[in-house]
Structure formats: structure tokens, C-alpha cells
């Protein structure tokens, strides 16, 4: 039977949403990032602090952005060694959570600017990845800005660096160094979503 409430493995919405515990948590942790908790159909249920959402394994939303250089190589970011999840691993160009009250497009533009100092004039394509334990209970939306001439400038507060790779180099990394890559990056490449294989490497195999 499908549950109508957002949940992790227990299959029920934790009582802390109804109990007012998030407000008490926020009082102890001012400035915490707030996100929308959603149900199994990605419908909003409540606004809660991100650390609480992660701890309770509640469904929420995130975005990924793919950036290509003029030669069609994909930019990979190296996550900061201080990250709680997958520290120092190589990941998609930019990524992050959708904040409460924020559109998917605005979240993608914000993360791209915060992490790589790139202003997105347009966002293309939308690949929707359902929320599962493998996605960290996140409904993931993948965007691309296509081929850009701007040089990514990794934010040292967020990232430890970055590099451009082509499809063959990506195959090599997955074959011999998969342990230094995030599962999400590997999953997208195995689905053929990183390098569609056309003249415009970004535009697009990605479908709604």
C-alpha cells in the first residue's frame, strides 16, 4: 500500500512535524537551511530544517546542473573534504537542495553561481529522478546550461576544485576509480545522461 505521507524506511511521517520540534530545533540552530518536506508524489507537506530532514530521512527536493565547455567536455566538481556526505568525491558540475519557497530553476541558478561563479542565462532540459534511498530520499531535477565560455571558479568554501572530462575519460574514471565518484554521477553516466553524443553535448537527451 502506498503511503500518503513523506517518510523514510519506517513509512510514516515522524511525529516531530506535528509536535513543533522543528521550531525548538531552529531556536537552537539559527540560520539553518529550510527545505520543503514532500510526500511520495512530490507534493509539499511541511517546512523543516535540512539537517532534521536528513536525519529523519524525509522526502525533499534537490537540483543538479551540468556545465560543458565549448569542446563538449563536462565540468566535474570535487566536493569539499569537510562535506558530511561524500567528502572529496567528484560530482556533477553543481548541485544543492531546493530551499523552501524556491523554484527549481531559481535553486539551480543559485547553486551554479554559489559554487562555480557562473551566471546562467538559460537552463535546458529536465530529467526527473524519483526519490529513493539511493538519492538520499531526494526528488532530483537535472538541468544543463549547455556549452559555456565562462571559466568555472570553484568556491573554496564549497569545493576543493574541479576539472573538465570527456566521455572516454568518464568511462575510465568509472572503470578504475569509481570509489572517488559520487553514486549520482555514476548513475547519470550509466543512464547515458551526461554525454548525449550529439554536436551539442548538452542539448538534449534529457527529457521531462
Q: Provide the whole-model pTM.
A: 0.80
Confidence at residue 32, expressed as pLDDT on a 0 to 100 scale? 74
Query: Quick count: other Cβ atoms within 10 Å of Cβ 118?
Result: 21
Going by their DSSP bridges, the two strands 124-129 and 94-97 should be labelled as unpaired
The CA distance from 208 to 199, in Å, is: 21
The pLDDT averaged over each successive group of 10 residues in the chain (208 residues) is 39 43 58 89 93 93 96 96 91 96 95 96 86 90 93 95 96 96 90 70 39
The CA distance from 135 to 18, in Å, is: 26
DSSP state of 129: E
Amino acid at each position: 500500500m502506498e503511503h500518503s505521507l513523506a517518510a523514510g524506511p519506517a513509512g510514516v511521517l515522524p511525529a516531530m512535524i506535528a509536535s513543533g520540534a522543528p521550531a525548538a530545533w531552529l531556536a537552537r540552530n539559527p540560520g539553518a537551511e529550510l527545505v520543503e518536506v514532500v510526500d511520495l508524489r512530490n507534493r509539499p507537506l511541511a517546512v523543516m530544517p535540512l539537517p532534521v530532514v536528513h536525519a529523519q530521512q524525509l522526502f525533499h527536493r534537490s537540483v543538479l546542473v551540468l556545465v560543458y565547455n565549448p569542446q563538449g567536455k563536462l565540468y566535474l566538481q570535487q566536493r569539499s573534504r569537510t562535506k558530511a556526505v561524500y567528502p572529496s568525491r567528484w560530482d556533477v558540475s553543481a548541485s544543492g537542495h531546493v530551499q523552501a519557497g524556491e523554484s527549481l530553476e531559481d535553486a539551480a541558478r543559485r547553486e551554479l553561481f554559489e559554487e562555480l561563479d557562473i551566471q546562467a542565462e538559460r537552463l535546458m532540459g529536465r530529467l526527473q529522478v524519483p526519490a529513493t534511498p539511493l538519492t538520499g530520499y531526494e526528488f532530483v531535477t537535472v538541468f544543463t546550461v549547455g556549452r559555456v565560455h565562462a571559466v568555472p571558479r570553484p568556491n573554496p568554501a564549497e569545493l576543493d576544485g574541479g576539472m573538465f572530462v570527456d566521455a572516454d575519460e568518464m568511462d575510465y574514471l568509472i572503470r578504475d576509480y569509481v570509489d572517488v565518484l559520487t553514486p549520482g554521477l555514476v548513475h547519470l553516466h550509466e543512464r547515458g545522461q551526461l554525454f548525449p553524443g550529439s554536436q551539442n553535448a548538452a542539448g538534449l537527451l534529457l527529457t521531462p
